[in-house]
Amino acid sequence: MLEKRSFSLSGHRTSVALEPDFWEALASIAQQEGVGLVALVVSIDARRGADEKLASALRVFALKAR
């Protein structure tokens, strides 16, 4: 089951649905980097390609960080 979370990115609200395991991985990475989850998501959003969906970018980031 997907878990949906909402964020403000580039001045607008957006929602992202990911599996709980990905949210846990991202929260762990954020903690290791000493930033909040929102700051990590904003950072990933800023680096993703124009054609890449945010949910995909978050999943790929979490997998590569392992």
pLDDT at 42: 96
Give the number of other Cβ atoms within 10 Å of residue 44's Cβ.
Answer: 18
Mean pLDDT of 52-57: 97
pLDDT at 66: 80
pLDDT at 57 over 90: yes
Q: Residue ranges per domain, the chain?
A: 3-65
4-44 pLDDT, tens digit per residue, is 999 999 899 999 999 999 999 999 999 999 999 999 999 99
Q: From CA 4, how far away is CA 33, in angstroms rounded?
A: 23
Q: How far is CA 59 from the centre of its chain?
A: 7
